[in-house]
Amino acid sequence: MNPYVKKVKPIENYFLKLWFDNEEQKIFDLKPYLNKGIFSQLKNISLFNSARVVSGSVEWPNGLDLSYDTLYLESQTIKESTQKSLN
């Protein structure tokens, strides 16, 4: 089983900075999803920026969500040098 998301921070260019309950920090690129069905709604930057953690996954007020499995498996580990610029 993959770890749950414990914190999310939307950042520029449709990236999500994620903190997982195993203490890993990763970056998820949402751009590949923006032309797929209802995920296109997240092109609205104010909606994108309203991401929040619900039950270990990331969810938006319009009901869109991404599972913790998808977020963990498809995100990239943040290198220490990059992490300072993302805080």
Token pair for residue 18? Answer: 């994620």
Digit-coded pLDDT (tens) for 29-76: 999 999 999 999 999 999 999 999 999 999 999 999 999 999 999 999
Digit-coded pLDDT (tens) for 13-41: 999 999 999 999 999 999 999 999 999 99
Q: Distances in Å between the alpha carbon of 76 and those of 27, 29, 38, 61, 70?
A: 5, 9, 24, 25, 12
Question: What is the residue-averaged pLDDT of the chain?
Answer: 92
pLDDT of residue 86: 61
Domain spans of the chain?
5-82
Query: Is the torsion defined by CA of 54, 59, 65, 70 positive or negative?
Result: negative
pTM of the model as a whole? 0.88
Q: Which CATH number fits domain 5-82: 1.20.1060.10, 2.60.120.260, 3.30.2020.10, 3.40.50.2300?
A: 3.30.2020.10
Dihedral, CA atoms, 16, 79, 25, 32, nearest 10 degrees? 30
Query: Is the torsion defined by CA of 63, 11, 83, 29 positive or negative?
Result: positive
